[in-house]
Amino acid sequence: MNNALLTLGRLAGIAGLLLCLGSGFARVAGYYWIGKFETLTVLQVGTTGMVLGCFLLLFALTAKS
């Protein structure tokens, strides 16, 4: 169970980080839309992914083996 939480937490954090970086670079480059989504919406989804990753990793650290 801990290995699954660690893996999911890391994947969620990395995906969130990539979404945040991508939306930030797009916004600086002058693109306000990525596909059909605003760059700020993509940034919020990335932030949510990183927070989810943090919660999963914290839960894995505090769970009893």
Q: Does residue 33 register a pLDDT over 80? A: yes
| 22-51 average pLDDT score | 97
Instruction: Calculate mean pLDDT across residues 43-59.
Output: 97
Q: Extract the tokens encoding 48.
A: 């949510």
As a whole number, mean pLDDT of residues 15-30 equals: 97
pLDDT for 56 = 97
The CA-based diameter of the chain, rounded to the nearest angstrom, is 49
Average pLDDT value for the chain: 95
Using CA atoms, how far apart are residues 63 and 56, in angstroms rounded to an integer?
A: 10
- List the chain domain ranges: 2-62
Residue 64's pLDDT band (cuts 50, 70, 90): confident
